[in-house]
Chains A and B, each alone.
Chain A
């Protein structure tokens, strides 16, 4: 009798596909915190729009560049900034404290005000999808 290896092979493929590499692309855990803080629905287009908006000649892209999947450069010091897109940099958005630190600083510098929880959820979702 010829043994049927099909189930083993299917299981093997499934295991390989669902491995840790896939997990890195999952939405950041921090979005859960925003949900707990009252964000019912995220607006990915608003996230994108905020990223590319310009206020007083300042934009997220001033330092991060036009393409979040590529490295940016600090507008003043020239120091390299690693890509923000999760697809290009799996290290991003792993540390809740770090996310909040940079949102606070950068929203104030770029938009001249703090970002709302909704806006942060939208931007985070958009960057994670890139």
Chain B
């Protein structure tokens, strides 16, 4: 009797391991199939939101551009700037960031539309017809950051550059740059 019970238990254990194992294999195959899928470069899934808080980034943009640096919200540069950036990706601030044509065109379309949002127009004040490649060169940006001592930014290991928006602006990737959201690492809240 005891032996019979042990045998049943043994087979039950074996069966459950086999089931689980096949399930696992199925899962890994399914996920690898997903990974082999092409990027969805068709219709874009973003909303041209007028509310800063609701700024939603295009997944392809976050994936392609956000792997090397913060995915800067498109609204932070005028359309002409993005066009220049996207046409010079083989020398992107000294790096090679070239993309295949399909991906590049999808991103250009997104950046052009998203950067036309009216809600950030104050950023482009005093810009005239210029199309700077760097957000940090916008006159508005310079004005907003000119009182911060360099020991808080450039000489601060945890920040190092004004290009690292999200080092201090906690919700930068969501397009929120309110002063209330600023915490400078090693310094604390910033209030000018």
Contacts and interface: CB of A to CB of B under 8 A. Distances in A.
Q: Which of A19, A20, A24 has the most CB of B within 10 A?
A: A20
14 contacts: A3-B6, A8-B10, A15-B17, A15-B21, A19-B21, A19-B25, A24-B28, A77-B70, A96-B36, A97-B38, A101-B99, A104-B96, A105-B95, A109-B95
Contact of B7 (A3, A12, A19, A108): A3
Nearest to B64: A101
B25 A23 contact: yes
Q: Which of B90, B94, B95 has the most CB of A within 10 A?
A: B95
A108 B14 CA distance: 52
The dominant DSSP class at the A interface is helix
Contact of B27 (A3, A16, A20): A20
A94 interface: yes
B68 A20 contact: no
Interface of A: 1-3, 5, 8-9, 11-12, 15-16, 19-20, 23-24, 74, 76-79, 94-97, 101, 104-106, 108-109
B163 interface: yes
A2 B32 contact: no
Interface of B: 3-4, 6-7, 10-11, 13-14, 17-18, 21, 24-25, 27-28, 32, 35-36, 38-39, 67-70, 90, 93-100, 160, 163-164
Contacts of A77: 68-70, 163-164
Given A15-B18, A16-B21, A23 B28 contact: yes
A15 B14 CA distance: 9
B68 A79 contact: yes
A14 to B, nearest CB: 10
A19 B93 CA distance: 45
A8 B93 CA distance: 62
